[in-house]
Copies of this chain bind each other. A is one copy, B any other.
């Protein structure tokens, strides 16, 4: 096992530990060529590898950040995470990834353990339920950035989609294409899940702006496994919607399953638009019209904000950064 330490190198090279340390940190201002060579040789000979942990203890920086997400299996998360890792890679930082499954207990445990492990900063997809904990971190000026969700009234940097605009994009595209009876499909509507709230609110506003009524019946909010039956119920009523807006990939999948089982034809019988540009949008028949989130930009930005805070320990006023969604017109919404 690895037992070679700096002291061993120092002994073999006939210099002090300090000198070896200087050498490794390239502080050669006053170091003879001869000494450098001897140290280099000793390192080579012993196969010495510095212990980063020891250095971290003294320097109070681990070059490691934590990223706490709901579930890496979710595509948005994976993409954001990849972008974060890319930024870290450029800076020789490493990323610890944790899945909370949207469980506040797990979130709390992870945050505390990662801080105990002295990570230099944290990017969190927050459950939104550990407000005291978030507060404590901001008070201590611990580098922290939220992604996807935010917590109202808390001075924490956050990187989010402009959900109002996303909903507006969906509604406008449908209305422009001649649809009026538009339904929305979402997971259960709970107040601390900001994107959900904003998307629904954005949907309502956009409908109103276009002079259309918001039909409560057309708002399907249910646990994912129960969405199909709700859709069944709605579509066996007298006046089912002519178009559906799925607020994320999970609900989109349910709608797709539903239309498959019921032989509803898209886009002839029903127009469909969704947030999240799923990987099969282009392959599916018909090709799916979607609203894409700039996931990589969001991840990159989150990482960059975090590094600003890590580097200057004081980034001034906090910011909530809103990213613009992009409408990708394909074939699941057709001009009526």
Q: Which A residues contact B (CB, under 8 angstroms)?
A: 1-2, 49-54, 56-57, 62, 64, 71-73, 78-79, 81-82, 85-86, 89, 92, 94-99, 106, 112-118, 140-142, 253, 256-257, 260, 278-280, 282-285
> B78 touching A82 by the CB < 8 A rule?
no
| CB-contact partner of A282 in B51, B52, B73, B257, under 8 A | B257
26 contacts between A and B (CB under 8 A): A1-B141, A2-B115, A2-B140, A49-B115, A50-B116, A53-B57, A53-B118, A64-B117, A73-B78, A73-B82, A85-B97, A86-B99, A92-B113, A94-B96, A94-B98, A94-B113, A94-B114, A95-B98, A96-B96, A253-B279, A256-B283, A257-B283, A260-B283, A279-B280, A280-B280, A280-B283
A118→B112 CA distance, assembly (Å): 21
> B94 touching A117 by the CB < 8 A rule?
yes
> B79 touching A73 by the CB < 8 A rule?
yes
| With A82-B99, A85-B98: A49-B117 Cβ-Cβ less than 8 Å | no
Main SS at interface, chain A: mixed
- Which of A71, A89, A283: most chain B Cβ within 10 A? A283
Tell me which residues across on chain B come within 8 A of A142, comparing CB atoms: 1
> A53 touching B49 by the CB < 8 A rule?
no
A115 to chain B, nearest CB (A): 7
Tell me which residues across on chain B come within 8 A of A73, comparing CB atoms: 78-79, 82
| With A1-B140, A52-B116, A118-B51: A64-B96 Cβ-Cβ less than 8 Å | yes
> A112 touching B49 by the CB < 8 A rule?
yes
| With A53-B117, A118-B53: A72-B62 Cβ-Cβ less than 8 Å | no
A259 to chain B, nearest CB (A): 9
A68 to chain B, nearest CB (A): 11
A117→B55 CA distance, assembly (Å): 10
Tell me which residues across on chain B come within 8 A of A85, comparing CB atoms: 72, 97-99
Tell me which residues across on chain B come within 8 A of A82, comparing CB atoms: 71-73, 99
Tell me which residues across on chain B come within 8 A of A52, comparing CB atoms: 113, 116-118
Closest to A281 in B: B280
A2→B257 CA distance, assembly (Å): 51
Closest to A118 in B: B53
Add 19 more A-B contacts to A73-B79, A280-B283, A280-B284 (CB < 8 A): A49-B115, A51-B57, A52-B113, A52-B116, A52-B117, A53-B56, A53-B117, A64-B96, A64-B117, A72-B72, A72-B78, A72-B81, A85-B98, A94-B96, A94-B98, A94-B113, A253-B279, A257-B283, A285-B285
Q: Considering the complex of A and B, which 4 residue pairs feature the smallest CB-CB distances, nearest first?
A: A280-B280, A52-B116, A52-B117, A256-B283
A278 to chain B, nearest CB (A): 8
> B71 touching A116 by the CB < 8 A rule?
no
